[in-house]
Amino acid sequence: MMEFLEVDQVHKNFGGIPALQGVSLKVEKGKIHGVIGPNGAGKTTMFNVINGVYGPDEGAVIFEERDITRFKINKIASLGIGRTFQVARIFNEMTLMENMMVPLIPRRVSKKAGEKKALELLEMAELIHLKDQLGVEISGGQKKLLEFMRTMMADPELVLLDEPFAGVNPALIERLIEITFELNRTRGKTFLLISHDIPSVMKLCKNLTVLSAGTTIAEGESEKIRHDPAVIDAYLGH
């Protein structure tokens, strides 16, 4: 059992106020792993530490047996960690196709190969008919799908999805779930996703990590976690 990503006892303060006070997590390669926990638990801060937005005050992040704790964002991305945001960060004044091509700008990929890849991903997301529309013209849920597909253009092995289902209509949630399964099954991609949508998390994730008040309070198989009294008390019961 190879540990693909490990977050080890990470602490992070903001102006003396602790956001993370000993968060740990282990993700296996090829898994779809969920992160749940109440508002303010530190979930997004943990993502920011993993992908290099912040360096932690203490603790370590290990990816493929390499200590990436103090690496910069671009370096971490180039090692194969992709990420989406709670509110999709797409370019409103660019077409969907142009948005898709952005991650390829610093890479040596031919325009033709890049376009082929972009079209495949837009097809998978059922956004292909919108490829020439501007970002501003699509719905919030479609923006999230587009951001997800744009992240895949860089071919990350590990994808961090921050609240992929929040503010997304049920039909698009189903599509997001299917796409995640497909990328996992057919391309072996590993996912770590934060979500408050417990039914979707239970569908997608065999393993869960539960954060509360900046610490990891439980980790393991989703079915066991959902019946863990500490988890129910901290989160699921409310």
Q: Which two tokens stand for residue 124?
A: 């998978």
Task: Single out the residue of 27, 45, 117, 225 in contact with ligand ATP (rule: CB under 6 A).
Answer: 45
Considering the rule CB under 6 A, would residue 41 count as an interface residue with ligand ATP?
yes
Closer of 41 and 225 to ligand ATP (Cβ): 41
Shortest distance (Å) from residue 234 CB to ligand ATP: 12
Q: Taking every pair of C-alpha atoms in the chain, what is the biggest distance, in angstroms? A: 54
Residues of span 19-38 touching ligand ATP by CB under 6 A: 19, 37
Considering the rule CB under 6 A, would residue 42 count as an interface residue with ligand ATP?
yes
- Strand boundaries in 15-163, DSSP class E: 17-28, 32-36, 58-63, 66-67, 81-83, 158-162
Q: Which two tokens stand for residue 207?
A: 């393993």
Q: How many chain residues bind ligand ATP (CB under 6 A)? A: 10
Residues of span 50-89 touching ligand ATP by CB under 6 A: none
Closer of 99 and 212 to ligand ATP (Cβ): 212
Closer of 179 and 211 to ligand ATP (Cβ): 211
The pairing of strands 3-14 and 58-63 is antiparallel
Residues 145 and 173: their CA atoms lie apart, in Å, by 9
The pairing of strands 58-63 and 66-67 is antiparallel
Give me the residues that bind ligand ATP (CB under 6 A), please.
14, 19, 37, 39-45
